[in-house]
């Protein structure tokens, strides 16, 4: 079930009344008008924990599918958090959301070019119940870290050098997003010399 609330902020507050899972905006919004095939997207990686690529996932198309699943999750996280952000944090998040949509669009194109199955967003994602801007930023930090972890797993396993370069260039941008989010939280943005994402 998907929900398109008239007021996203009031919807988020109302969700505290008992829902553990936040229904997400319609898939068309998640995909950000980045175009699509006529065929329905096939949801994949539906049981994969965030930040993980199963060891039995092989082939460049399937590996990129794992990255696309992570990007869908990120897009949902940014969309659900925007109403609680203001000023500079809001401007950052809006730009980073545009980046995530660009990542998803690129990955969909690459997967289609490889003849792989499309990976659509899940009907809903559970990001807890953020009540403040700081809550949202902590959620975005966690989701960025999980996405970085996915790319760190897939780059060495991609067979095509150009695909590896694309994945690495995206991973670097996710790390840049994370650094900015950490700064907004008043935390050290350069925590480690070797960025690995979530453990």
Partner 1 sequence: MSDLDVVEGALRLERVVVASYGAALRDGPLDPALRRLLRRLREQEREHAAVLESELDALGGRPPAAPAADALARARAELGLRHPLDELVTASDVERFSIELENAQLSLYLDAVRELADARLLQLATQIMAAEGQHAAVLRGRLSELPEVVVPSAFETGDAAIP
Cβ distance to partner 1 smaller for residue 49 or 194: 194
- Look at residue 42 and give its three-state secondary structure: strand
Task: Please state the closest distance from residue 38 (CB atom) to partner 1, in A.
Answer: 26
Cβ distance to partner 1 smaller for residue 38 or 86: 86
Q: How far is CA 54 from the centre of its chain?
A: 18
Give the one residue of 19, 42, 103, 114 binding partner 1; rule: CB under 8 A.
103
Q: How many CB atoms lie within 10 A of CB 82?
A: 16
The answer to the question of residue 23 lying near partner 1 (CB under 8 A) is no
Q: How many CB atoms lie within 10 A of CB 183?
A: 16
The answer to the question of residue 193 lying near partner 1 (CB under 8 A) is yes
DSSP 8-state class, residue 159: S
Tokens 């949202």 label which residue? 136
Q: How far is CA 118 from the centre of its chain?
A: 16
The answer to the question of residue 134 lying near partner 1 (CB under 8 A) is no
- CA-to-CA distance for 66 and 111, rounded, in angstroms? 11
Q: Are 171 and 51 in contact (CB under 8 A)?
A: no
The answer to the question of residue 6 lying near partner 1 (CB under 8 A) is no
The answer to the question of residue 135 lying near partner 1 (CB under 8 A) is no
Residue 32 phi/psi, 5° resolution?
A: 60, 30
Task: Please state the closest distance from residue 153 (CB atom) to partner 1, in A.
Answer: 8
Q: Which positions from 63 through 92 interact with partner 1, judged by CB under 8 A?
A: 88, 91-92
Q: Which of these ranges, 38-46, 57-65, 93-101, 107-115, lies near partner 1 under the rule CB under 8 A?
A: 93-101
Q: Which of these ranges, 35-43, 51-59, 78-86, 94-102, lies near partner 1 under the rule CB under 8 A?
A: 94-102
How many angstroms separate the first and last alpha carbons of the chain? 31
- CA-to-CA distance for 9 and 86, rounded, in angstroms? 13
Q: Which positions from 142 through 181 interact with partner 1, judged by CB under 8 A?
A: 148, 151-152, 155-157, 161-162, 164-180
Which residues contribute to the site for partner 1 (CB under 8 A)?
Answer: 88, 91-92, 94-96, 98-99, 102-103, 106, 148, 151-152, 155-157, 161-162, 164-180, 183, 189-190, 192-196
């Amino acid at each position: 079930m998907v929900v398109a609330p008239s007021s996203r902020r009031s919807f988020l507050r109302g969700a505290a009344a008992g829902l553990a899972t936040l229904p997400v905006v319609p898939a068309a919004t998640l995909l950000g008008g980045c175009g699509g095939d006529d065929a329905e997207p096939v949801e994949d990686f539906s049981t994969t924990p965030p930040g993980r690529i199963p060891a039995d996932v092989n082939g460049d198309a399937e590996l990129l599918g794992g990255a696309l699943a992570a990007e869908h999750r990120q897009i949902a996280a940014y969309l659900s958090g925007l109403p609680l952000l203001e000023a500079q944090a809001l401007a950052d998040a809006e730009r980073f959301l545009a980046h995530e949509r660009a990542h998803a669009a690129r990955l969909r194109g690459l997967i289609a070019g490889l003849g792989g199955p499309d990976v659509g967003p899940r009907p809903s994602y559970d990001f807890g119940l953020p009540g403040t801007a700081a809550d949202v930023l902590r959620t975005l930090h966690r989701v960025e870290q999980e996405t970085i972890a996915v790319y760190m797993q897939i780059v060495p396993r991609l067979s095509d050098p150009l695909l590896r370069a694309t994945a690495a260039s995206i991973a670097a941008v996710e790390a840049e997003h994370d650094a900015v989010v950490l700064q907004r939280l008043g935390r050290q943005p350069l925590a480690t010399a070797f960025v690995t994402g979530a453990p």
